[in-house]
Amino acid sequence: MSPTLKRTPLYECHVEAQGRIVAFAGWEMPVQFAGVIEEHRAVRTSVGLFDVSHMGELDVVGRRALDFIQHVTCNDVFKLTPGRAHYSGLMTPRGTFVDDLLVHKVADDHYFLVVNAANKDKDYAYLCAQAAGFDNVDVRDRSDDWAQIAVQGPRALSVAQKLTAVNLAEIKYYRFVRGAVDGADAIIARTGYTGEDGVEIYVPPADAPRVWRALLAAGRDEGIVPCGLGARDTLRFEACMALYGNDIDDTTTPFEANLDWIVKLEKGPFLGREALLRQRAEGVRRRLVGFEMVGRGIARHGYPIMAGSKEIGAVTSGTHSPTIGKALGLGYVPVALTAVGSEFAVEIRGQQVAARVVETPFYRRQRPA
Amino acid sequence: MADPSDRFYTHTHEWVQVSGEQATVGITQYAQEQLGDVVFVELPPAGKKVGKGEVLGTIESVKAVSELFTPVTGEVAGGNAALESHPELINRDPYGAGWVVKLKVAAGAADGLMDAAAYEKFVAEEGGH
């Protein structure tokens, strides 16, 4: 492997656990341990542990931090109070995604952004360039200062609870607190990328291996397993959470990606707002839909979507869903074909295979009554 | 798991076992480990003529699409129908119940392929870990 690939502080833990290591977004990351399906099922039924230390963390600080983040993202940061986070898009002036991200409000003059590993350098440069127009805003790349461990699944909270005095059940969805986890000075956020309940725990890199091992020990009775990027992808796919570079990129808008709920046009000016206002007025021409394969075959990223001999769209993500047990996919199609039950074909190795639009998300967890 | 010595192997990680005019083809233990959980197998139609090294079918795991290349020249006699509903047989028993295709071949079809010892050496050098 290329010597320039980075390793997370948990790399040695993954090698010990016989994780299969692959290159991903400039990092050497475990793609699987026991197997994608076994890890996937553990998260759906009990609990799994993910090293997501490759994700980028950026601090935005200064008196005009709020104005600045309002300017570069499409969600309404004004609605966040300290200790709350939301999902958002970092926007181009065309109303497309530079990246998707989590914005955590620490204080009026401090926001903590979590961005995709593959986009971190691009995002940082973009934010710095945009910040030049703002006095009293400073963007800092803190990615080397934080490791990130995601504990996900219906038993995630009870397992993580064993390592902290913070009452995790009191942290509501998309809120976060600062507190000690196994003695490490951590940020604990009730967030995730699996469609299950859980927490994402940010700790200093030096503490990460100890916390990782402590979590595995704490979850032993629950059947906790370390999970790789493979299961992370199938889990987020079933929950229809967008993957940058697959389902969204700098050619797609939030409206096209069915992410209307993160666009707050009424919040005032922001990058891409004019383009998004125009698109809203004119209507989108294509939208991301979820579909199931009717014929035999698995749709994969990049496969053409066909109507007769005409290419009308493309698959953005697709696999055989471990939970639903069917070949499912996400892809962009003309709006006329977005209703549930609409039919088209996916071209798989030169063959047209029938597919049908279904409800999304494919998987939604049962919440306790 | 040791690779069985009663068959021959390719650099693309298929095995072939020849018995008279019939050759059975599958993927190796190493290949199924690399591929991960197999969820879909596309088999060639019976009667299709294939030349050594040509694509014989497709094996897909949750994450990846992998082509199966025929180790021998021949005519497809049939595929393993059990894989349609139980593709995981390839993971569980790659040298037995997880066989993929049977071909009708001419004598000497497997000449020049690696034996188990040569294949294991190849994997050890290629795999690196």
Contact A230 B36 (CB under 8 A): yes
- ipTM associated with this complex: 0.88
Pairs of residues, one from chain A and one from chain B, whose beta carbons lie less than 8 Å apart = 37
What's the CA gap between B117 and B129, in Å, rounded? 18
- The pLDDT score that the predictor gives to residue A368 is 62
Inter-chain touch B65–A320, beta carbons under 8 Å: no
pLDDT single digits (tens) B25-45:
999 999 999 999 999 999 999
Chain B residue numbers touching A1 (CB-CB < 8 A):
none
Cβ count near B122 (within 10 Å): 16
Ramachandran region, residue A70 (left: φ > 0; alpha: ψ -120 to 50; beta: rest): alpha
At residue A250, the pLDDT reads: 98
Dihedral, CA atoms, A300, A304, A309, A310, nearest 10 degrees?
150
Nearest to B40 among A31, A37, A320 (CB): A320
Question: Which CATH code, of 2.60.120.10, 1.20.1250.20, 1.20.1050.140, 2.40.50.100, is assigned to B8-122?
Answer: 2.40.50.100
Q: Which residues pair with A148 in a beta bridge?
A: A202
User: Considering only CB atoms, which chain B residues are within 8 Å of A19?
Assistant: none
- Reduced to 3 states, what is the DSSP secondary structure of residue A155? coil
Q: What residue in A sits closest to B35 (Cα-Cα)? A: A35
Identify residue A186 by its one-letter amino acid code.
A
The torsion angles phi and psi of A128, rounded to 5 degrees, stand at -65, -40
- DSSP bridge partners of A147: A203
- Looking at residue A133, its pLDDT comes to 87
B40 backbone dihedrals φ, ψ, rounded to 5°: -160, 135
> What's the confidence (pLDDT) of residue B128?
47
Identify the pLDDT of residue B129: 43
A32/B36 CB distance under 8 A: yes
The rounded distance, in Å, linking the Cα atoms of A53 and A22 is 15
Tell me which H or E stretch contains B94: none
The mean pLDDT value for B54-65 works out to 95
Please indicate whether, in this complex, the C-beta atoms of A230 and B60 are within 8 angstroms of each other. no
The answer to whether the CB of A305 falls within 8 A of the CB of A344 is yes
CA distance A124 to A119: 8
Q: Is the pTM of this model over 0.90?
A: yes
Domains contained in chain A, CATH given: 6-52+146-238 (3.30.1360.120), 56-143 (3.30.70.1400), 285-369 (2.40.30.110)
Pairing verdict, β A6-7 and A27-32: parallel
- B60/A298 CB distance under 8 A: yes
A250 vs A92: CA distance, rounded Å: 7
What the block records as the tokens of A98 is 């530079």
Q: B61–A36: do the CB atoms touch at under 8 Å?
A: yes
> What is the C-alpha to C-alpha distance for residues A88 and A74, in angstroms, rounded to an integer?
6
Pair of tokens at residue A249: 């990129």
Give residue A367's pLDDT.
74
Smallest CA–CA separation between A105 and chain B, in Å? Answer: 35
What does the domain layout of chain B look like in residue ranges? Answer: 8-122
pLDDT of residue B127: 65
CB contact under 8 A, A35 and B36: yes
pLDDT of residue A69: 98
Q: Which two tokens stand for residue A226?
A: 């370390």
Strand-by-strand arrangement of the A6-7 sheet: A6-7, A27-32, A20-24
Mark the ranges of chain A whose per-residue pLDDT is less than 70: 1-3, 368-369
β-strands A84-91, A56-61: how paired?
unpaired
Q: Is the peptide bond before B87 cis (omega within 30 degrees of 0)?
A: no
The contact set of B with A (CB < 8 A) is 36-37, 39-40, 42, 58, 60-63, 65
